[in-house]
Structure 1
Amino acid sequence: MNDTYTLHVAGLTRELPICAINEHLEIAAFIMFSDVELTVACAEALLKKCPEFDVLVTAEAKGIPLAYEMSRQSGKLYIPARKGKKLYMREPVVVEDQSITTSARQKLVIDRKDLDAMNGKRVLIVDDVISTGGSLHALEALVGRSTGTVVARAAVLAEGDAADRTDIVYLEKLPLFAR
C-alpha cells in the first residue's frame, strides 16, 4: 500500500500520510494545523456550501483553526467545545463522545454562558473530518442544552461511510483503507 494519499480539496493538493488505526484499518491523516493556505481555502469553500447561520460550534482541537477562519471570513461568532473543564468556566456542561482516532471516550465541555450565546440562534456545527459522527453527536447534544437550532453539520472531509450521509455538508470524500 502507498505511504500517502493524494487529496485534492478547495483547489489545493496535499499528500496525507497513511496511518494504522488498528490491525484492520488505516486512515489518511488530515491535519490543518499550521497549514494556513489550506485552512483559508477550505473555510472559504465550505462557507459557500453552508446555509445561513448565526454561530459556529466546533470540538477542540482539530476543528478550531477551521472554525476560527470561517468565523473570521463570515464575521460570525465561533465557540469551541473544550476537552475538559477549564478554570474560567463558571457553569460547565459536559457530554462524552467516541472518535475513530482515539481509543478512550472523550469529554466535550462548554460553559453555560456560551450555551446562552446560542439561544435562539442558527448553529452551524463544524469539524475538519466527519467519520463515525461521534463528535457531531456530542456537539449536537451540547447545542441541545440551549434553545439554538442546528442548521447544518459541516466538515472539510467526509471519511468512509460518512460520505454517504445526506445530513452533512462537506467538500471532499476521504477513503478508509483496509489492511
Structure 2
Amino acid sequence: MNTYQLTIGDQKRDLPIIPISKDTAIASFVLLGDDALSYAAAKLLLAKLPRQFDYLVTVESKGISLAHDLALLSNHPRSVVIRKSVKSYMKDPLATTVNSITTDHEQTLVLDGNDAARLANKRIVLVDDVVSTGGSLRAAEHLLRKTNCRIVGKLAILAEGAAARRTDIQFIKPLPLFNLDGAIKPVE
C-alpha cells in the first residue's frame, strides 16, 4: 500500500493513499482517536488564532478533538459543534446541506437553536481538520450567518490540493492530492 508521511510537530504518521474517484486518491487523514496528533496540531494552531474571539466552532466529527484541544489551550473552554443530523434534544435547529469530497452523498449540517442563540453577535473561529474543496466550511458559514455572528478566523490542520492556495484559512501544512498510482498530482 502506498503511504504519505506527514509530520505535525513531534508527531509522524504514515497516511494510506486511498482512491476516492476514477483519477484521484487522497492521503487518508483521520484525527479521531489520535489524541497526541490532535494536541500537537492544536499547540501549533494556537499561534494562528485571532487575538479576540468568543467561540470555536467545528463541524462533526473529525474536528471535534481539535476544537476541544484548542479551546482548552486558548482558555476558551466552550466550543460549539455543528452536527450532521437533527437530534431530539435540539430546540429550533438550523440546517443546510453540503457535498464533501470524502462522502458519496449529500450531508445535512445542523446547528442547535440553543447554540445559535449563544453565538448571536459573537466572534467565531471555524476549526476543521482538513480543508479540501471548502464545501463544509461554506455550509458552516451559511448556517452561522443565520446567527448574526462574525467569523473572525478559519483554522485547519491541513489544506488539501488547491486549498493550500487559499488566503482566508490559516493551516499548518499543505496536503497533496494523488494519482491512483500514488504519485503526487500537480495542483490545478
Q: Normalization by structure 2: what TM-score?
A: 0.91
2:133 aligned residue: 132
Letter in 2 for 1:125: L
Letter in 2 for 1:41: A
Distance 1:49 1:159 in 2: 18
Gaps of 5+ in 1: none
- Indicate the larger mover: 5-14 or 156-165: 5-14
2:38 aligned residue: 39
Distance 2:89 2:4 in 1: 41
- Indicate the larger mover: 7-16 or 140-149: 7-16
Letter in 2 for 1:166: T
Report the alpha carbon displacement of residue 136 of structure 1 after superposing the two structures with TM. Answer: 0.2
Distance 1:125 1:172 in 2: 17
Aligned residue-pair number: 178
Distance 1:118 1:139 in 2: 13
1:8 aligned residue: 7
Give % identity.
43
2:68 aligned residue: 68
Map 1:62-101 to 2 at 5 A. Answer: 62-76=62-76, 77-101=78-102
2:106 aligned residue: 105
CA contact 1:123–1:151 (8 Å) conserved in 2 = yes
Distance 2:176 2:37 in 1: 19
CA contact 1:10–1:171 (8 Å) conserved in 2 = no
- Indicate the larger mover: 10-19 or 156-165: 10-19
Gaps of 5+ in 2: 181-188
1:116 aligned residue: 117
Structure 1: which 4+ aligned runs deviate by more than 4 Å?
none
> CA deviation digits over 1:39-72, x for unaligned, max 9?
1110111111121321011111111111111112
Q: Normalization by structure 1: what TM-score?
A: 0.96
2:154 aligned residue: 153
Report the alpha carbon displacement of residue 167 of structure 1 after superposing the two structures with TM. Answer: 0.6
Distance 2:96 2:69 in 1: 25
Letter in 1 for 2:40: A
- Indicate the larger mover: 156-165 or 89-98: 89-98
Distance 2:171 2:58 in 1: 15
Letter in 2 for 1:67: A
Letter in 2 for 1:68: H
1:147 partner SS? coil
Report the alpha carbon displacement of residue 170 of structure 1 after superposing the two structures with TM. Answer: 0.2
Map 1:163-178 to 2 at 5 A. Answer: 163-178=164-179
1:109 partner SS? strand
- RMSD value, Cα: 1.0
CA contact 1:120–1:148 (8 Å) conserved in 2 = yes
Report the alpha carbon displacement of residue 12 of structure 1 after superposing the two structures with TM. Answer: 2.1
Report the alpha carbon displacement of residue 36 of structure 1 after superposing the two structures with TM. Answer: 1.2
Distance 1:124 1:3 in 2: 35
